[in-house]
Amino acid sequence: MNLTDIGIRALDKPEKGATVYYDDTLKGFGVRVTANGVKSYVLTHGPRRTRKTIGRVGIIKLQDARTSAKQLLAEYTLGKTQPVSKRWKAALAEYLAEVKANRRKTTLKSYKRHLEGHFKFGDTLIEALSPNDFQTALDRLKGRRSEYHHAFVYLRIFIRWAFRKHYLDKNPLERMKPPPGSKKRKRVLTDAELVKVWNSCPDDPFGRIVRLLILCGQRMTETSNISHNMIGEDTITLPGEYTKNHRDHTFPFPKMARPYLHHLTYGGFSKAKKRLDEASGVYGWTLHDLRRTLKTNWAKLGVAKAVSEKYINHISGENSGEEETYNQYDYLPEMRAAVKRWEAYLQKLFKT
């Protein structure tokens, strides 16, 4: 077809995916129309049928887009521009392989969940994806503030990597406004809520993890990765590959925790948490709030901040990199004393 301004306005959008309408007067030049009705000028060229997005219809004129396409074709013919074509799925697999080699297992898991779960572009050429394609995928997460924020951050890191690899001529997220970060939570469960949650924990890996979070206050990802070889007589040592600060972390655990230190691998946290909420009647809390609950109660029990910070492996002024450089004390005696105090408090609370 001979593309004209009137003809472009009348182009039909597909039911799903995208369709390219090619111009008869310039080989490879056309208009890509998505299922959302977004229209973009594109140029498909070379033996690998590489597609480049020139610009959005309505933002640039047809005449300017056609002129730009001619210039690009001339550059490709003269060998001045040799773009590296890469499909989304292949680029993502390459990137995740690099993440696996240089990041913790928990970090890789988080990258995979967000990038593979929220951005399903399959075999689409990465350079053919427009800012609107990414924004549409992100818009599906509106209402889930934290999930939206993390998905955007991981996507931005990946796109910058693809740009450095020359899989993209320009960064499609360059003008995209980052979402606001998630609000800092202050939720602390009351004693009555702790009792309800404790008593409602199912006898399965999820239930054991929740009870360990109440008892020990470590991070959920760290707790779910505890294995037999990490458990000592009364301490647990988490290897640096599982901790947030990449350092080995040794902490004493209460005797009450021993029965739950087995078979902790679990995958369906969201659904299991919803069932626990319904069973306990306690709503509006997260698993991470149990960590804050422990630390708040320890403060009420008179445990020094330096001890509680060390116990939950929290990186702050009390336990910062500079502090750890000069203060090599492990606080194990103080942590053991605090754990006994906390266990006595919980035994009375749960009447065990």
Q: What integer best gives the mean pLDDT of the chain?
A: 89
Same domain for 308 and 248? yes
pLDDT score, position 320: 47
Comparing 81 with 277, which gets the higher pLDDT?
277
Q: Is residue 314 part of a domain?
A: yes
Mean local confidence (pLDDT), 209-220: 97
State which residues form the domain around 108.
88-164
Asked if 256 and 334 sit in the same domain, the reply is yes
What residues form DSSP beta bridges with 56?
40
Q: Mapping DSSP to helix (H, G, I), strand (E, B) and coil, where does residue 143 land?
A: coil
Q: Is 341 inside any structural domain?
A: yes
Spatial separation of the C-alpha atoms in residues 160 and 166, rounded to whole Å: 10
Has residue 172 been placed in a domain? no
Is residue 276 in a domain? Answer: yes
Q: Is 93 helix (H, G, I), strand (E, B) or coil?
A: helix
Any domain includes 100: yes
- Which has the closest alpha carbon to 319: 297, 295, 293? 295
Read off the pLDDT of each residue in 304-316 and give the average, rounded to a whole number.
Answer: 89
Looking at residues 297-311, what average pLDDT do you find? 96
Do residue 223 and residue 326 come from a single domain? Answer: yes
Over residues 126-132, mean pLDDT: 89
Give the count of domains, the chain.
3
Per-residue pLDDT, 177: 83
pLDDT at 74: 82
Q: 205 pLDDT band (50/70/90 cuts)?
A: very high
| Rounded Cα–Cα distance for residues 259 and 35 (Å) | 54
In a domain, 185, yes or no: no
AA letter at 174: E
Residue 264 and residue 337 share a domain: yes
Sign of the CA dihedral running 223, 227, 230, 233 = positive
Give the integer Cα–Cα distance in Å for 301 and 312. 16
Is 156 contained in some domain? Answer: yes
End position of a domain, from candidates 147, 164, 181? 164
- Residue 31: which of 15, 16, 6 has the closest Cα? 6
CATH no. for residue 321? 1.10.443.10
pLDDT at residue 317 greater than cutoff 50: no
- Give the pLDDT confidence of 172-204 residue by residue, as tens digits: 998 888 877 666 789 999 999 999 999 999 999
Last residue of a domain, one of 14, 48, 78: 78
56 lies in the same domain as 106: no
pLDDT per position as a tens digit, 31-71: 999 998 999 999 988 766 778 888 899 888 999 999 989 98
pLDDT of 231-258, one tens digit each?
999 999 999 888 888 889 999 999 999 9
pLDDT the model gives residue 106: 77
Task: Verify that 140 and 238 share a domain, yes or no.
Answer: no
Domain C-terminal end among 78, 105, 123: 78
Clarify whether residues 245 and 271 are in a common domain: yes
One-letter amino acid identity for 286? T
CATH number of the domain to which 30 belongs: 3.30.160.390
Give the pLDDT band (50/70/90) at residue 100: confident
Let me know whether 17 and 46 are in one domain: yes
Question: 74 with 94, same domain?
Answer: no
* Residue 50 sits in the same domain as residue 152: no
Let me know if residue 32 belongs to a domain. Answer: yes
User: What's the CA dihedral at 329, 332, 338, 343 to 10 degrees?
Assistant: 160
Q: How confident is the model at residue 78 (pLDDT cuts 50, 70, 90)?
A: low
Indicate whether 281 and 307 sit together in one domain. Answer: yes
How high is the pLDDT of residue 101?
A: 79
- Residue 203 shares a structural domain with residue 328: yes
